[in-house]
Structure 1
Amino acid sequence: MSVQALTEWIFPRMVELRRTFHRYPELAFEEEQTALVIMEELQRLDIPFEYGGVGGGVVGRISGRDDGPTIALRADMDGLPGDETTGLSFASVNPGKMHACGHDGHMAMLLGAAAMLKENPPPGNVVLIFQPAEERGAGARVIIQSGALNRVKAIFGGHVMRQFRVGEIMVAPGVITAQSDKFVIRVRGRGGHGARPHEAVDAVVVAGLLIMAVQTLVSREINPFHPSVVTIGQVQAGTAPNVIAEHAVLQGTIRTTERPVRKHIIEGLKRMAKATGVLHNAVVDVEVTEGYPPVVNTKQEAEIARAAALKVVGQQGLVPLDYPSMGAEDFAYYLERIPGCYVRFGARREGWENIPLHSPAFDFAEEALKVGAAFFNEVAREAINTYAAQEA
C-alpha cells in the first residue's frame, strides 16, 4: 500500500482520536485519561510502550532492526486553561480546560504515523514520545530524565499553525522559537491618605513609571535585527480609591533569541528598577525566573526534515521561515541534548481567518492530520536511512 493510500486509510481513525482528545482535555501533569487513550491505541497497534504514571509520559517503541539507528518523534499531550468558544460538536466537556494549541492534533498525527511505521517498519528503531506538560512545567525534562532519549540519534517534532494553509510545512535550520523568561517587580513605597500625597511614597506612580520605562529596553537599547520582546502582563496595586498604595507588583515576560541580548535586557530591567526606586524613595526588587531556552534546529536534521517534507507536500508546499517565533517551546530541552528539527504544519482552510493559538476559538482543519502523520512517517525513514549510510 502506498504512503498516500495508507494515510487515507488511517485518516478516519486519526480524526476519531483527535476528537476524543479534544473533548476531554487535561492540564499539565494531569494527563491521565489522555495517556489511557494513547496506551489503548498503542496496544491496538501491537506497539510496546512504557508509561511514567500520571504526570509522566507514554513512550512507544517500534523496532525494525536492532542494530539500525534510533530516532524519536514527539507529540505533546496537555491542554490549556480556558473556556472553549468554538461551538464544535466535540468541544471540551471539561469546564475551564480546552485544547487551544493543537496538541490533540499532534497526538493523533503521531499515532497515525505509528500505524504507518508499524505496518512497514524502517531499518532502524523509532521512539514515539507522548510528552506531558509542554505548556506549563517543561514536561520535556520529565521525558529526558526517564531515559527515553538513550541511544536516540535525533528527534523530530512539529506544531499545527493556522498561519499556514493545509498542505504546507515550514522547515528551517537555526532559531525557530525564542527564549522565554518571567520577571516579577515588587515596589514598596509608603502608604497614606489619597488627600495627603506628600506624606506617602506612591507605589502606583513608581509602577507606572516602570511600565513605560522598560518598553525602551527593546526600542532604544536593542539592535532592531535581534528580535526581542518585553511585556508586562499583570499589575496589582492598591486597596481603595482614596488610599495611596504602599505596594505594587508587576509581572511580565522577556522573549529573546540571542544570549547577549537576553543578558542586556535582564541587566537593564534591574538597572531601571533600582534607579526608579532611588528617584522616588521607594524600594524596588526584581526577580527573574528562567524559562524555556530557544528552539534551535540543527542543520543536518533540518535537511532531513526538508527532504521528508518534499516527499509529502512537494516543493510548492515548503514554506520558508521569515523570522523566528517569539513564542516558546520546551522541545528546546531535547535539542540541548541531541540533534533534531521542529517544523510547522499548515492547518488553515481556504477562507478561514488566522485565529491564533491559545484563543478560546482556536480550531484547525483536520486534513492537516494527514500531512502531519505522513511527515512523521517519512522523516523517521529519511533520518534512519541517512544515519545508516553515514555509519556504513
Structure 2
Amino acid sequence: MHTEPAGAGLMGIPDTQVFLDDLVALRRGLHRIPELAFLEEKTADFIRRELVRHGIAASYGGRGMGVVGRIEGRDPAAPVIALRAEMDGLPGEESTGLPFASQHPGRVHACGHDAHMAMVLGAARLLSRGERPAGDVVLVFQPAEEHGGGARVMMQAGVLAGVSAIFGGHVTHHYLTGQIMVTEGVVTAQSDRFVLRVRGKGGHGARPHEAVDAIIVAGFLISALQTLVSRESDPIHPTVVTIGRVQAGTAANVIAEEAVLEGSIRTTVEAARDRVLRGIRRMADAAGALHGAAVVVELVEGYPPVVNTAREASICRRAAERVFGVRDVLPQEHPSMGSEDFAYYLHETPGCFVRLGARREGWDYVPLHSPAFTVDEDVLPLGASYFAEVVREAQRALPRRS
C-alpha cells in the first residue's frame, strides 16, 4: 500500500489539495441528489454545468438520456477515447449519517456512482487544461446502469461513433484506497432473471385431497433448483441461482391456488448459462407433472458479462502503474458475480473496466448497495488522474484513424 497521502505525485496537478477539495465538493454535491434510472435530470444538469464551466462542449438529450462531453484533440487522426460514468442512484434510505447524505427520500447513492462521476469530471478537467490530448475525448455520463441498461440508450444515440476504445471503473471496499484491480478477460457475470408462475387448485385447508397446493409445488422447486448449481454445473465455472421473492396464499386455512417465484441467475460462460436455463424449464415441467399443476416459466435476459480486451487491459495496467505504483496494481483472482451494463459497450468497442479500492485502512467492509456504503474520498484524485492517464496512454498505444 502507498504510504504517501492520496494524490501525491498525481500528474499535471499544480495544487493537489485544491484538486482533492474540488473533487470532494463535486462528489458530495452529487451524493445529495440521487435519482433513479432514466430520471436523472438534476444530476445531468449538474454535470453539464460543470463541463461547460471548464470550457468543455456538453450535450444533454433530456429525461432518459445521458450527458455527453467532448474535448477536442490536437490531431484529427489520433484515436478517439471514451470515458464512462453512471448517473443513477438506488431506491432506499441512506444510513451513513453523513452531513451530505441524500436529500431525496427513498433514493440513495449506495453504489458509488457519485464517486465515478466526480472522477470522470476530474479527468476531464486534467485533460482540458494546458496542452490538449492528442485525439478527441468523449465523456459519457449515462443513465440507468442499475436498472434498464442505459448503456444501450447511449449506444443507440451514437456516442461510440468513431471511438477507438472505452474505459470505465467501479469503486469497491474489496480493495483498500490506493489499490486498483486490472485484468483481461471476464470481469463480471452474465445476469438473467426468471419468474415461475405455479397454478394449482385452491381449496379448504381441511380438505387437501380436493386441491392442488401451489405452495407445495413452489417449495419443491425452491429446493430442486439449487441442484442446478450443486449437481449440474461444472464447478470450475461460477454459477449462482437465487430465489429472491416468493408470493403465495391468502389465509392460513386456504390452500393456495397460485404461487409466484422470482429469482436471478449469474453465470460467466455461455455453456453454463444455457444449461441452467434448460434446467429451469425441465424442472418446472417435471414439478407440474408430478403434482398435477401448471408451471409457466418466464426468462428475462439481463446484462451480458464484462469481458476486457487484452490490448486495452495492458493500456490500463501501464496507466495504473504510473498513478498507483506497480505493487498496487492487482490482478483479479476470480470474476465478480455482479453484473454491469458496461458490457454492452464492449460488444461494439474494445475497452477495459477496472475496480478502484475505496476503503480506508481500519474501516469495516461495507458491500455495495448497502444503505451504509460510502467511499474514502482520497480515491477521487487517484481515479481522476488514472482516467486522464488512460486516455493519454491509449492515444499513444492505439493505431491512428484512417
> Structure 1-normalised TM-score?
0.98
Tell me which residue corresponds to 2:49.
Answer: 40
> Which one of 87, 94, 102 corresponds to residue 97 of structure 2?
87
Alignment of 1:174-185 (within 5 A): 174-185=185-196
Gaps of 5+ in 2: 1-9
- Take 1:319 and 1:215, find their aligned partners in 2: how far apart are those partners? 33
Give the secondary-structure state (helix, strand or coil) at the position aligned to 1:89: coil
> Which one of 122, 131, 141 corresponds to residue 130 of structure 1?
141
- Native 8 Å contact 1:69 1:153 kept in 2: yes
Deviations 1:208-252 (A, max 9, x none): 000000000011001110001000000000000100000000000
> Which one of 293, 297, 306 corresponds to residue 308 of structure 2?
297
Alignment of 1:182-201 (within 5 A): 182-201=193-212
- Take 1:263 and 1:138, find their aligned partners in 2: how far apart are those partners? 22
Greater Cα offset, 65-74 or 344-353: 65-74
- Native 8 Å contact 1:11 1:112 kept in 2: no
- Take 1:351 and 1:2, find their aligned partners in 2: how far apart are those partners? 28
Shift of 1:391: 6.6
Shift of 1:3: 2.9
Deviations 1:309-341 (A, max 9, x none): 000101121111010000000000000001000
- Take 2:13 and 2:195, find their aligned partners in 1: how far apart are those partners? 51
Deviations 1:64-122 (A, max 9, x none): 22221101000000000000000000000101000000000000000000000001321
- Residue-pair matches, total: 391
Tell me which residue corresponds to 1:234.
Answer: 245
Give the secondary-structure state (helix, strand or coil) at the position aligned to 2:235: coil
- Take 1:79 and 1:191, find their aligned partners in 2: how far apart are those partners? 42
- Native 8 Å contact 2:77 2:401 kept in 1: no
- Take 2:302 and 2:200, find their aligned partners in 1: how far apart are those partners? 29
Shift of 1:8: 4.0
> Which one of 335, 351, 360 corresponds to residue 346 of structure 2?
335
Tell me which residue corresponds to 1:25.
Answer: 34
Alignment of 1:121-160 (within 5 A): 121-160=132-171
> Which one of 301, 315, 318 corresponds to residue 329 of structure 2?
318
Give the secondary-structure state (helix, strand or coil) at the position aligned to 1:147: coil
> Which one of 102, 107, 110 corresponds to residue 97 of structure 1?
107
- 1:12 maps onto 2:21 in alignment: yes
Shift of 1:4: 5.2
Identity of aligned residues (%): 61
> Which one of 373, 376, 388 corresponds to residue 365 of structure 1?
376
- Take 1:42 and 1:236, find their aligned partners in 2: how far apart are those partners? 47
- Native 8 Å contact 1:8 1:370 kept in 2: no
Tell me which residue corresponds to 1:106.
Answer: 116
- Take 1:355 and 1:298, find their aligned partners in 2: how far apart are those partners? 30
- Native 8 Å contact 1:189 1:201 kept in 2: yes
Give the secondary-structure state (helix, strand or coil) at the position aligned to 1:136: coil
Gaps of 5+ in 1: none
- Native 8 Å contact 1:190 1:200 kept in 2: yes
- Native 8 Å contact 2:198 2:258 kept in 1: yes
Shift of 1:385: 0.7
